[in-house]
Amino acid sequence: MLDSELLEQIVKNLKEINSKLDRLVMQVEDREEQATEKKRMMADSLDVITLLSLPDHLRTTATTLFEIGPATAEEIAKITHKERAVESNYLNQLVRMNHVKKYREGRKVYFRINESLKK
């Protein structure tokens, strides 16, 4: 009797483990799919000529914005290792060039790639 109860408990535990592993696999696949989509969007967003025509400092800022998506100047600055005010200036230059859109959420100002530039 004990052996059958033990076997039932083992089977139950294995089913729970299998279910959890399936969920983990799905999460990993979703993340990989999101990363692939982000890379595809980056490749399609600004054409190569436009990107290459930007000065190095603006190209670095634009590329970082592509990689992380909508972000504040502070978030960009953490990645590029420049001052927030410098990145804010660069992002505003990209806004004036119509490569980036700017919007506010509460007290924070966010920047995102201009949708009209996406192919």
Domain boundaries of the chain, sorted by first residue: 1-45, 47-117
Range 47-117 classified under CATH 3.10.150.10: no
Beta bridge partners of 100: 113
d(CA 12, CA 116): 53
Output the tens digit of pLDDT for each of the chain's 119 residues. 578 888 899 999 999 999 998 898 899 888 888 877 766 655 445 666 777 788 999 999 998 998 898 999 999 999 999 999 999 999 999 999 888 999 999 999 999 988 655 44
Pure H helices in 46-83? 48-53, 56-68, 73-80
